[in-house]
Amino acid sequence: MTQTTKPLAVITGASSGIGAAIARDLSDAGHPLLLLARRADRLEALGLPNTICRSVDVTDTAALTAAIDEAEVAYGPVDLLVNNAGVMLLGALDVQDPTEWQRMFNVNVLALLGATQAVLRGMKARNGGTILNVSSVAGKKTFPNHAAYTGSKFAVTGITENLREEVADSDVRVMAIYPGAVETELLSHTTDKDIIDGYEDWKTSMGGVLVADDIARAAMFMYAQPQGVNIRDITIAATRQPA
């Protein structure tokens, strides 16, 4: 491994979309990285220097913690955790398969808690560090066919704010970014074709939506502030997105 002067950043769900965009920007800024996702080949294909890529199911806290320990041996303590891994399975609550609810809460909520716990004790001991949760505007307001997904993202909102208050005296920053509609693979997780078609029509009606690099720029701005400055949250959406 090459010695670096910037501290280690960890990104979950880094194989595509927002996670990959943030990874590229952090790498360009000189940070060593631990990238986590199920598709290790996609992580490796990013071709980023000073980067450890591991195929990890983020719901497997033991495997996630082991990967973080490995990266800290190579690059030093984690200074930034980006909880980006997420699943969006849209559906009407009266007919949606309950296994989809379970999957969303496992990935969007429980895995976020597990990853946070894996780095938080060290951050508190060092009196520094940043945890950035990539949420959704659905963590602030409701949308049709979003009941279970919105529930998982409202949970992220509550966790983020509660934890921020708990660790503020340790100089650990906890923040969230709330993207509106973004052109990523997230919609492909939904299994109801009519809902997908309606969502695509909604995006078209706005004349297009954000791209992953838009979110990455906002995330980098949040992280780049001095440790004594916490931009607690940013909501970012296409100008023509009405809700």
Would you state the torsion angle of the CA atoms of residues 128, 134, 136, 140, taken in this order, to the nearest 10 degrees? -10
**Residue of 149, 178, 199, 223 marked catalytic:** 149
User: Token digits for 108?
Assistant: 């969007």
3-class DSSP assignment, residue 137: helix
Rounded Cα–Cα distance for residues 130 and 126 (Å): 12
Q: What tokens does 35 get? A: 């990238």
| Alpha-carbon gap, residue 227 to 102, rounded angstroms | 36
Distance CA(7)–CA(81), nearest Å, equals 11
Give catalytic status of residue 199 as yes or no. no
Alpha helices by DSSP H, 29-146: 40-45, 61-75, 98-105, 111-126
Query: Tokens 């409701």 correspond to what residue?
Result: 142
Strands 78-83, 51-55: pairing is unpaired
Q: How far out from the chain centre does Cα 140 lie?
A: 16
Secondary structure of 188-203 as H, E, C letters: HHCCCHHHHHHHHHHH
Among all residues, which ones are annotated catalytic?
149
